[in-house]
């Protein structure tokens, strides 16, 4: 069964909104048949957080679901197929468990062993390499979608990447209904922002306000201590697997979440297998302001995730919604000034 046929019905419905109900273009469909791209369907977009007892995100949404969503969004607003393909491939070098693997401390790896890049993944794939070289597509143009401002920009601006992960989170965490998500999406246009770069903009101030407030709700979940504790627990478990040579670092960039977890569960090192078994039992996290001599207190900084979107007003002017909405301005300031840097620990010791 192909990836497109395998998609959950709710994911398909969301993707249909992104594509305005149109058929997915063949050049995107063809990419979805390539094994290195299909692998992303086995990597959780939320870094495996749904596996813990905390379940800060209680739904499954793969990195390929997200990548396809970004590509479909861009495909509606630009005519450059190369940029759309680069967006589809932007997580091609993602490790298993995504963000949880990326926060593994460098001391766990050989400094000479660099992390896999999108360029490495493309060159290492016979299918992708042949596809691009035979069609005259520059591999370099496929390797860094962040050079395309509508695909990627910095918080609190709104790019296709940020739009997609916020919309799917709003929907699947029941913050917004699918009808509300569709109204938000259909209100979007592209305009020059303050830096004269293209950016998504809302045509309706109420929808812009709703999106902003909902993005802050998503941001609170992304940086919650339940999410941080789970990511740290998975990260430490993966690091132990690498240190004890249960897996290699390359395996993280080769296999899916499920395969890595099964290797850990079945390995002879009880310290590792017990950690994977305990993951689903994680259900309590403690926090404190100051770290003392007691072990197992950690700090983990995660980037702020929210949007202060552009909105086009009735008189045709474009501005940030925080400048015309008192409630958005207040909620953004509260979000940015709230303390999220406490030390935390869970009730687990190796």
pLDDT tens digits along 210-243: 999 999 999 999 999 999 999 999 999 999 999 9
Q: What is the pLDDT of residue 113?
A: 62
Q: What is the pLDDT of residue 110?
A: 64
Residue 134 predicted with pLDDT over 90: no
pLDDT tens readout for residues 60-108: 999 999 999 999 999 999 999 999 999 999 999 999 999 999 888 666 7
**Which stretches within 267-325 are classed as H helix?**
270-278
Domain ranges of the chain: 3-224+303-337
Encode 164-189: b = buried (16+ Cβ within 10 Å), e = exposed: bbbbbbbbbbebbeeebbbbbbebbe
Model-level pTM greater than 0.85?
Answer: yes
pLDDT category at 138 given cuts 50, 70, 90 is confident
Q: From CA 261, how far away is CA 101, in angstroms rounded? A: 12
Q: What is the pLDDT of residue 66?
A: 98
Q: What is the pLDDT of residue 158?
A: 98
Question: Average pLDDT, stretch 156-170?
Answer: 98
Q: From CA 132, how far away is CA 206, in angstroms rounded? A: 43
Q: From CA 335, how far away is CA 90, in angstroms rounded? A: 29
Does domain 3-224+303-337 fall under CATH 1.10.3210.10? My reply is yes
Q: Which two tokens stand for residue 266?
A: 């079945």
pLDDT mean across residues, the chain: 92
Q: What is the pLDDT of residue 106?
A: 60
Residue corresponding to tokens 């870094």: 47
Q: What is the pLDDT of residue 6?
A: 87
> 58-67, 142-151, 257-266: lowest mean pLDDT where?
142-151
The answer to whether 106 and 47 are in contact (CB under 8 A) is: no
pLDDT tens readout for residues 274-302: 999 999 999 999 998 887 666 778 888 88
**Phi-psi domain of 163 (left: phi exceeds 0; alpha: psi -120 through 50; beta: other):** alpha
Single out the residue of 88, 63, 79, 76 nearest to residue 11, CA to CA. 63
């Amino acid at each position: 069964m192909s990836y497109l046929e395998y998609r959950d019905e709710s994911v398909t419905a969301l993707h249909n909104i992104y594509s305005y109900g149109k058929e997915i273009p063949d050049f995107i469909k063809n990419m979805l048949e390539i094994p290195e791209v299909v692998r992303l369907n086995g990597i959780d977009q939320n870094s495996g957080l749904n596996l813990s007892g905390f379940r800060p995100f209680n739904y499954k949404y793969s990195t390929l679901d997200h990548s396809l969503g970004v590509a479909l969004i861009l495909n509606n607003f630009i005519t450059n197929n190369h940029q759309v393909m680069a967006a589809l491939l932007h997580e091609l070098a993602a490790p298993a468990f995504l963000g949880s693997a990326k926060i593994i401390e460098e001391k766990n790896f050989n400094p000479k062993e660099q992390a896999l890049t999108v360029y490495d993944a493309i060159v290492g794939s016979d299918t992708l390499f042949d596809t691009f070289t035979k069609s005259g597509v520059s591999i370099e143009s496929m390797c860094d979608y962040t050079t395309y401002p509508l695909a990627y920009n910095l918080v609190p601006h709104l790019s296709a990447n940020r739009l997609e992960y916020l919309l799917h989170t709003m929907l699947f965490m029941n913050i917004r209904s699918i009808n509300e998500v569709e109204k938000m999406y259909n209100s979007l246009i592209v305009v020059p922002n303050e830096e004269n770069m293209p950016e998504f903009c809302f045509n309706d101030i109420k929808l812009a306000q709703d999106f902003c407030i909902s993005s802050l709700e998503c941001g609170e979940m992304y940086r919650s201590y339940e999410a941080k504790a789970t990511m740290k627990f998975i990260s430490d478990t993966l690091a132990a697997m690498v240190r004890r040579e249960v897996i290699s670092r390359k395996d993280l960039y080769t296999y899916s979440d499920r395969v890595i977890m099964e290797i850990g569960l079945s390995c002879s090192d009880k310290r590792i297998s017990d950690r994977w078994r305990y993951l689903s039992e994680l259900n309590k996290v403690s926090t404190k302001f100051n770290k003392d001599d007691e072990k197992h207190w950690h700090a983990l900084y995660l980037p702020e995730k929210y949007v202060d979107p552009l909105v086009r007003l009735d008189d045709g002017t474009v501005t940030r919604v925080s400048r015309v909405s008192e409630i958005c301005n207040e909620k953004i300031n509260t979000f940015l000034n709230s303390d999220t840097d406490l030390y935390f620990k869970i009730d687990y010791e190796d």
